[in-house]
Structure 1
Amino acid sequence: MNLRVSPRRLYGKQFFNLLAKTLLGAFLCISGVETLNAKAGWANEPIIEQTDGLTSEQLEPAKADDWLAQIVQTSLQEITNVQVAETETGFELILETAGTLPEPVTSTTGNALIIEIPNAVLVLPEGEQFQQFSPSEGIALVQVSNVSGDSVEIAITGADAPPTASVSTTEVGFALSVTPGIEAASTDRESLQIVVTGEQDEGYNPSDATTATRTETPLRDIPQSIQVVPQQVIEDQGITRIGDALRNVSGVTPQRDRSNASDRFSIRGFDTSRILRNGFRTGVGLGDATGVSPNTIERVEILKGPASVLYGQVEPGGVVNYVTKRPLDVPFYNFQLRAGSFGLIEPAIDIAGPLTEDRRLTYRLNASYQDSDSFRDFVDSQTISIAPVISYDFSDQTNLTFEYEYREQNQTYDDGLPIDPIVFELPRGRFLGEPDDFFDTSVNRFNLTLDHRFNDNIRLRSGFAAELFDSSERTFRLFEFDPESNEISRFISDGGFSNNNLSWQTDLISEFNTGSIEHQLLAGFEWVQTETIDNSDGFFSGDNPLTISVIDPQYGTPRPDLNTTFSANDRINTLGFYLQDQITLLPNLKLLLGGRYDFATNESEFEELFEGEFFAESSEFSSEAFSPRLGLVYQPIEPISLYGSFSRSFIPNNVTTVDGNIIEPERGTQYEVGVRGEFDNLSVNLAAYNITKTNLTRTDPDNIDFSIPIGEVRSRGIELDVAGEPIQGWNIIGSLFFNDAAISEGDENNPEDDILINAPGSGASLWTTYEIQSGDLQGLGFGAGLFYVGDREAQIPNDFVLPSYVRGDASIFYKRDDWQFQVNFQNLFDTNYFESAQNTSLIFPGTPFTVVGRVSFQF
Structure 2
Amino acid sequence: MKRDKLFQSFLLISGIIVLIGTPAKGEEVRENGIVQPSTQTVGKVLENNFVVKDVQSKSPVSVSSSGKPRQFQSQIANSLSPVKSDKPSKNIPQLSEIERPATSAAMLVQAGATPTNSPNPAPRNVSPEQRGQHRGTVLITGVKANPTDKGLEVILETTQKDQLQVVNRSTGNNFIADITGGQLRLPSPDAFTFRSEKPLAGIIEITVTNVDANTVRVTVVGEKALPVVELFDDNVGLVFGVGRSATMTQPETPQTTKKPATQTQQDKPAAQQDNPIELVVTGKQDGYRVPDANTGTRLDIPLLETPASIGVITRELIDDTTPKRGEDLIPFIPGVSRGSEADDNQGGNVPEFTIRGFSVARQIYINGLRDSRRFVIRDLANVDRIEILKGLSSLLYGTGAPGGVVNYITKKPQATSSNNITFQAGSFNSYRGEVDFTGPLNTEKTLLYRFVGAAQDADSFYDNVEDNRLLIASTLTWLTGNGGSITLEGDYFQQELNFNSGIKFFKNKFLYDRSYVDPRDRSQRDNYRVSTYIDQPLTKNWSINLSGQYIDINRDLDIFSAAVFNQDRLRFITRPLTESYTQGDLKAELRGNFKIGASEHKQLVGFEYNTFKADTILNISNLIVGSIDPLNPVFNEPLPNFNLGNQFYSNKQYGIYIQDFMKLGQFRVLAGLRYGSFKSKFKPANPTIVETNAQTTFISPTVGLVYNFTDSASVYASFSRSTEPNDGRRADGSLLEPKTATQYEIGTKVNLLNNQLSITGALFDLTQTNIAEPDPNNPDFSILVGEVRSRGLELQAAGKVTDNLSLIAAYTLLDTKINKNSEGLHGNTFINSPSNSLGIYAKYNFTKGALRGLSLSSGLIYVSERQGDSANSFEVPSYVRVDLGAAYTVNHLIFRLGIENLFDTRYVVSVGNAANVLQGSPLAVTGSVSIKF
TM over 0.5: yes
Query: Secondary structure, in 3 states, of the residue corresponding to 2:13?
Result: helix
Q: After alignment, is 172-181 or 737-746 more displaced?
A: 172-181
Q: After alignment, is 616-625 or 533-542 more displaced?
A: 533-542
Distance 2:706 2:330 in 1: 26
**1:269 pairs with 338, 346, 357, which one?**
357
| Structure 1 residue 633: Cα displacement | 0.6
Cα deviation, 1:350-378, whole Å, max 9, x if unaligned, reads 11000111111101111001111111112
- Check the 8 A contact 2:50/2:206 in 1, yes or no: no
Cα deviation, 1:683-711, whole Å, max 9, x if unaligned, reads 0001001000013358999x999998661
Query: Secondary structure, in 3 states, of the residue corresponding to 1:636?
Result: strand
Question: CA 1:557–1:818 in structure 2 vs 1: closer, same or farther (change >3 Å)?
Answer: same
**2:303 pairs with 219, 222, 229, which one?**
219
Question: CA 1:463–1:328 in structure 2 vs 1: closer, same or farther (change >3 Å)?
Answer: same
Distance 1:315 1:419 in 2: 28
Q: After alignment, is 434-443 or 145-154 more displaced?
A: 145-154
1:117 partnered with 2:147: yes
- Check the 8 A contact 2:53/2:227 in 1, yes or no: no
Residue equivalent to 2:609: 527
**1:229 pairs with 303, 308, 313, which one?**
313
1:145 partnered with 2:229: no
| Structure 1 residue 245: Cα displacement | 1.7
Distance 1:517 1:216 in 2: 17
1:392 partnered with 2:478: yes
Query: Secondary structure, in 3 states, of the residue corresponding to 1:24?
Result: helix
Name the aligned partner's letter for residue 501 of structure 1: Q
- Check the 8 A contact 1:272/1:318 in 2, yes or no: yes
**1:34 pairs with 2, 25, 43, which one?**
25
Distance 1:101 1:762 in 2: 58
Query: Secondary structure, in 3 states, of the residue corresponding to 2:500?
Result: coil
Residue equivalent to 1:495: 577
Residue equivalent to 1:299: 385
Distance 2:502 2:556 in 1: 19
Residue equivalent to 2:888: 814
Query: Secondary structure, in 3 states, of the residue corresponding to 1:82?
Result: coil
**1:318 pairs with 397, 401, 404, which one?**
404
Residue equivalent to 1:592: 670
**1:641 pairs with 700, 704, 714, which one?**
714
1:757-772 → structure 2 map (5 Å cutoff): 757-772=831-846
**2:655 pairs with 573, 576, 584, which one?**
576
Cα deviation, 1:514-561, whole Å, max 9, x if unaligned, reads 11110101000100111122210277567xx31121111112221122
Instruction: Output the aligned Cα RMSD.
Output: 3.9
Name the aligned partner's letter for residue 551 of structure 1: L
| Structure 1 residue 654: Cα displacement | 3.4
Query: Secondary structure, in 3 states, of the residue corresponding to 2:486?
Result: strand
Distance 1:811 1:332 in 2: 25
Question: CA 1:659–1:341 in structure 2 vs 1: closer, same or farther (change >3 Å)?
Answer: farther
- Check the 8 A contact 2:896/2:929 in 1, yes or no: yes
Question: CA 1:309–1:80 in structure 2 vs 1: closer, same or farther (change >3 Å)?
Answer: closer
Distance 1:149 1:172 in 2: 14
Residue equivalent to 1:55: none
| Structure 1 residue 819: Cα displacement | 1.1
- Check the 8 A contact 1:90/1:179 in 2, yes or no: no
| Structure 1 residue 570: Cα displacement | 1.3
Name the aligned partner's letter for residue 632 of structure 1: L
**2:628 pairs with 535, 548, 558, which one?**
548
Distance 1:594 1:579 in 2: 5
Residue equivalent to 2:336: 252
Residue equivalent to 2:594: 512
| Structure 1 residue 744: Cα displacement | 1.1
Distance 2:774 2:465 in 1: 27
Question: CA 1:383–1:710 in structure 2 vs 1: closer, same or farther (change >3 Å)?
Answer: farther
1:742 partnered with 2:712: no
- Check the 8 A contact 2:351/2:376 in 1, yes or no: no
1:558 partnered with 2:618: no
1:175 partnered with 2:229: yes
Distance 1:16 1:732 in 2: 36
Distance 1:831 1:658 in 2: 50
Distance 2:631 2:389 in 1: 43
Name the aligned partner's letter for residue 668 of structure 1: A
Cα deviation, 1:220-247, whole Å, max 9, x if unaligned, reads 0101111111000111112121221212
Name the aligned partner's letter for residue 275 of structure 1: I
1:355-434 → structure 2 map (5 Å cutoff): 355-421=441-507, 423-424=509-510, 426-428=511-513, 430-434=514-518
Distance 2:386 2:724 in 1: 23
Distance 2:781 2:526 in 1: 26
Greater strand fraction, Structure 1 or Structure 2: 1
Please, which runs of 5 or more residues in structure 2 have no aligned partner? 55-71, 84-93, 99-137, 154-169, 185-191, 219-224, 240-273
Q: After alignment, is 832-841 or 289-298 more displaced?
A: 832-841
Residue equivalent to 1:601: 679
| Structure 1 residue 576: Cα displacement | 0.2
Distance 1:314 1:116 in 2: 50
**Identity over aligned residues, as a percent?**
26
Query: Secondary structure, in 3 states, of the residue corresponding to 2:638?
Result: coil
Residue equivalent to 2:244: none
Query: Secondary structure, in 3 states, of the residue corresponding to 2:844?
Result: strand
Residue equivalent to 1:52: none
Query: Secondary structure, in 3 states, of the residue corresponding to 2:317?
Result: helix
Question: CA 1:114–1:436 in structure 2 vs 1: closer, same or farther (change >3 Å)?
Answer: same
**2:864 pairs with 781, 790, 794, which one?**
790
Query: Secondary structure, in 3 states, of the residue corresponding to 2:758?
Result: strand
Residue equivalent to 1:3: none
Q: After alignment, is 773-782 or 654-663 more displaced?
A: 654-663
Query: Normalization by structure 2: what TM-score?
Result: 0.77
Distance 2:216 2:588 in 1: 31
Cα deviation, 1:273-322, whole Å, max 9, x if unaligned, reads 120111111233x2xx3121111111111111101000001221111111
| Structure 1 residue 255: Cα displacement | 2.9
Name the aligned partner's letter for residue 80 of structure 2: T
| Structure 1 residue 478: Cα displacement | 2.9
Distance 2:764 2:428 in 1: 41
1:329-368 → structure 2 map (5 Å cutoff): 329-368=415-454
Cα deviation, 1:124-177, whole Å, max 9, x if unaligned, reads xx999979584445577997633778998775989899999xxxxxx9764323
Please, which runs of 5 or more residues in structure 1 have no aligned partner? 1-8, 39-60, 73-77, 93-99, 165-170, 186-190, 609-613
Question: CA 1:699–1:509 in structure 2 vs 1: closer, same or farther (change >3 Å)?
Answer: farther
Question: CA 1:175–1:839 in structure 2 vs 1: closer, same or farther (change >3 Å)?
Answer: same
Question: CA 1:162–1:179 in structure 2 vs 1: closer, same or farther (change >3 Å)?
Answer: farther
| Structure 1 residue 431: Cα displacement | 2.1
Query: Normalization by structure 1: what TM-score?
Result: 0.83
Name the aligned partner's letter for residue 332 of structure 1: S
Distance 1:121 1:181 in 2: 18
Question: CA 1:128–1:493 in structure 2 vs 1: closer, same or farther (change >3 Å)?
Answer: farther
Distance 2:651 2:542 in 1: 33
Query: Secondary structure, in 3 states, of the residue corresponding to 1:435?
Result: coil
**2:372 pairs with 283, 288, 293, which one?**
283
- The number of residues matched between the two structures is 781
Cα deviation, 1:614-648, whole Å, max 9, x if unaligned, reads 52422323101100100011011222111000011
Name the aligned partner's letter for residue 329 of structure 1: A
Residue equivalent to 1:714: 789
1:831 partnered with 2:909: no
Name the aligned partner's letter for residue 578 of structure 1: Y
Q: After alignment, is 191-200 or 814-823 more displaced?
A: 191-200
Distance 1:706 1:193 in 2: 70
- Check the 8 A contact 1:196/1:328 in 2, yes or no: no
- Check the 8 A contact 2:471/2:491 in 1, yes or no: yes
| Structure 1 residue 607: Cα displacement | 2.9
Question: CA 1:566–1:771 in structure 2 vs 1: closer, same or farther (change >3 Å)?
Answer: same
Cα deviation, 1:30-74, whole Å, max 9, x if unaligned, reads 446215899xxxxxxxxxxxxxxxxxxxxxx9964689x9799xx
Query: Secondary structure, in 3 states, of the residue corresponding to 2:352?
Result: strand
Distance 2:229 2:914 in 1: 67
Residue equivalent to 2:52: 82
Question: CA 1:802–1:421 in structure 2 vs 1: closer, same or farther (change >3 Å)?
Answer: farther
